[in-house]
Amino acid sequence: MAVETPTDYAAGEAAPSPERAAVPAGPPGYAEDNYLNHTKGLMSWLVTLDHKRIGMMYLVGVMSAFLLGGIFALLVRAELWTPGETIVTAETYNRFFTLHGAIMVFLFIIPSVPAALGNFVLPVMLGAKDVAFPRMNLASFYLWCGGAIFFLITLFRGSLDTGWTFYVPYSTSTETAVVTALTGVFILGFSSIFTGLNFIVTVHTMRPPGMEWFKMPLFLWAIYATSIIQVLATPVLAVTLLLLAVERTTGIGVFDPAYGGDPVLFQHFFWFYSHPAVYIMILPGFGIISELISTFSRKHIFGYRFIAYSSIAIALFGFLVWGHHMFTSGMSTVAAFVFSLLTFSVSIPSAIKVFNWLATMYKGNIWLATPMCYALSFIFLFTIGGLTGLHLGALATDIHLHDSYFVVSHFHYVMVGGSLVAFLGGLFYWWPKMTGKMYNDFWGKISALIVFLAFNLTFFPQFILGTKGMPRRYYNYVPEFQFWHQVSTVGAFMLGGGLLVAAVVLVHSLLRGKKAPANPWGAATLEWQCSSPPPHNNFDHPPTVGDPYALNRVVYDPDTRSYRQIDEFSNGGTPQQTAKV
Ligand code: CU1
């Protein structure tokens, strides 16, 4: 994909107002001495304790995993172009969809926002120098690498064909490398627990004076709620996988009926983690969207406390609904009814967020920069994902839709339309802060548009297929399903193209982008008060802690052609106010 060399890479390019126009090279706020060049050499990165560098290393890691998982997704869609064999055998196909799911869930989505973006942003946004335990932070990263290595070994040791859920009894009998993969997930679990623990302690102990709980940006509330789930739920998965590995290697009966075990027990244990894990994957995305919607609507976030409390509510309610994955596994009607009711109740805090975002945008001065395009895309796609969840949470319709493509589509609307799109929005939002470089906003928007259209083309047909009875994970299908499968496959390759455009835009900015100002978007949270990229210790001067959404206090200064906090104008000059609240 060739990207035309633009003449200007500044934030405000193609923006509606001239005040948001280009920032000249080397604007105020660009730090010549920053975390990227503070120390030099490969070793200075490998043993770094700087949360920003660890975040960047995570970013490289999770993006590599995303590329690998994406390749398997395209192989799955290519195979489904025709019924029966298109490119590979049924056995290979089972490996493809398993590896796609396992890599995407464990190596990409779970660490993407918290460990990569969160590591970089959380301390700076909080006004802290680093996380509470920098050494444990580095250890988390190396645990992630260890887990990734076990996944790579799995690929070369007979691969894995159980589905990412490792359901028994098949996972105790398949010839593929189940124990190697389980070891990988087990190690990744510890990486996730350590990151969560670190963030909880950081939020409790590292807040600067004035940063009260209800002055914390909503991204921090979301990361905090996510961390609680990571610490409380992940050990259950670890123990479950350990039991499965023991059963597989020693034949001690836990889950497999052939050894006297109970397979439904595995499903209970697995989903006791994996439903909350869905919130590990989506809650940080909610946090990003709250920041983007407020900043790019130039308005104070609507319903701050409701959004903050709803994150905590989702984290707690998320632990009570795991049974909705097993309505057809032989559960009593009473239990199924209770799980269904609780499932509906967890949709309330999610809906609260969506309504508050819409209310924030109402009468806002909306700036359609690349991150905002991803945020709007998120609201649309996540809402479809959420609403189709109601069909699956309702007992009667779930019997029909269970294990069909409807579930596949619902899950991807939440995980890709939700988590991935929010991740991309956050990446485009914080990219100038992380790298000190501005990207081409026009091509960024094009990537957001392609991703949005291609995503719907890929997954909307799957709702239709699922409703008509196409089961998930099947290699073969009846000829009447071929049309929608082909539409979906075309969409998937377009989606790959859209993501490639996004990647080219970002990489291109590293090579040719203009230097970023401290606050290219005019946001009011603390990470924009330090220079871009931030200095080694984040802040040269203690940041001014205030309302994180008081966008009327961030004004455009035409003399320096960048945004500034209003408090900085102490010389009596009247700054031009562009923020409308
Ligand atoms: Cu669930």
Confidence band of 10 (pLDDT split at 50, 70, 90): very low
Distance 207 CA to ligand 1 centre (A): 34
Are 440 and 6 in contact, with CB atoms under 8 Å apart?
yes
Report which of 388, 495, 525, 512 is spatially closest to residue 438, judged by C-alpha positions: 512
Distance from Cα 21 to the centre of ligand 1, integer Å:
45
Mean pLDDT, residues 496-517 taken together: 95
CA of 278 to the centre of ligand 1 (A): 7
What average pLDDT does the structure give for the chain?
Answer: 90
Q: 9 pLDDT exceeds 80?
A: no
* Domain harbouring 218, CATH code: 1.20.210.10
pLDDT of residue 509: 96
> Per residue in 221-253, pLDDT tens?
999 999 999 999 999 999 999 999 999 999 999
Which residues have their alpha-adjacent CB atom under 5 A from ion ligand 1?
275
Instruction: Note whether residue 97 is domain-resident.
Output: yes
Alpha carbon 411 to chain centroid distance? Answer: 14
In a domain? residue 370:
yes
Please tell me the distance between residue 164's alpha carbon and the centre of ligand 1 in angstroms: 14
Q: Is the pLDDT of residue 516 over 70?
A: yes
Give the total residue count for the chain: 581
386 within domain boundaries: yes
| Residue 393 host element (H or E) | helix 370-393
- For 31-80, what is each residue's pLDDT tens digit? 678 899 888 889 999 999 999 999 999 999 999 999 999 999 999 999 99
How many Å lie between the centroid of ligand 1 and the Cα of residue 271?
7
The alpha carbon of 259 and the centre of ligand 1 are apart by a number of angstroms equal to 28
Q: Quick check: 575 pLDDT over 60?
A: no
Residue 400 near residue 465, CB atoms below 8 Å: no
Residue 342: how many other CB atoms lie within 10 Å: 18
225 and 315 Cβ atoms separated by less than 8 Å: yes
Is residue 2 pLDDT above 70, yes or no?
no
- CA 289–ligand 1 middle distance (angstroms): 22
Tens digit of each residue's pLDDT (9 = 90 or more) over 245-304: 999 999 999 999 999 999 999 999 999 999 999 999 999 999 999 999 999 999 999 999
DSSP reduced 3-state for 332: coil
Going from the Cα of 320 to the center of ligand 1, the distance in angstroms, rounded, reads: 10
Could you report the per-residue pLDDT of 413-471, keeping only the tens digit for each? 999 999 999 999 999 999 999 999 999 999 999 999 999 999 999 999 999 999 999 99
How far apart are the CA of 351 and the centre of ligand 1, in A? 17
- Does the pLDDT of residue 91 top 90, yes or no? yes
* Residue 527 near residue 121, CB atoms below 8 Å: yes
Q: What is the 3-state secondary structure (H, E, C) of 216-247?
A: CCHHHHHHHHHHHHHHHHHHHHHHHHHHHHHH
User: What is the distance in A from the centroid of ligand 1 to the CA of 412?
Assistant: 13
* Full-model pTM: 0.91
Asked if residue 1 is part of any domain, the answer here is: no
What is the Å distance from ligand 1's center to 408 Cα?
A: 13
| 569 in a structural domain | yes
Domain membership of residue 172 as a residue range: 7-41+50-520+528-578
| Ligand 1 centroid distance, CA of 389 (Å) | 9
Q: How many A from CA of 298 to the centre of ligand 1?
A: 35
Cis peptide before 169, with omega less than 30 degrees from 0?
yes
The model's confidence at residue 123, banded by pLDDT at 50, 70 and 90, is very high
Quote the ligand 1 centre to 411 CA distance (angstroms).
Answer: 10
Residue 298's region, left for phi above 0, alpha for psi from -120 to 50, else beta, is left
Share of the chain above pLDDT 90, in %: 82
CA of 82 to the centre of ligand 1 (A): 31
Reading phi first (left if > 0) and then psi (alpha if -120 to 50, else beta), residue 403 is in left
| Segment 360-384 mean pLDDT | 96
CA of 120 to the centre of ligand 1 (A): 29
Other C-beta atoms closer than 10 Å to the C-beta of 502 total 22
CB contact set of 290 (below 8 Å; sequence gap of 6+): 217, 218, 219, 222, 301, 307, 353, 357
Q: How many domains does the chain have?
A: 1
Ligand 1 centroid to Cα of residue 325, in Å, is 6
Query: Is residue 314, in this structure, part of any structural domain at all?
Result: yes
Question: Residue 17 domain-assigned?
Answer: yes
CB 324, CB 346: distance < 8 Å: no
Question: Given a cut of 60, is residue 26 above it in pLDDT?
Answer: no
| Within-domain flag for 2 | no
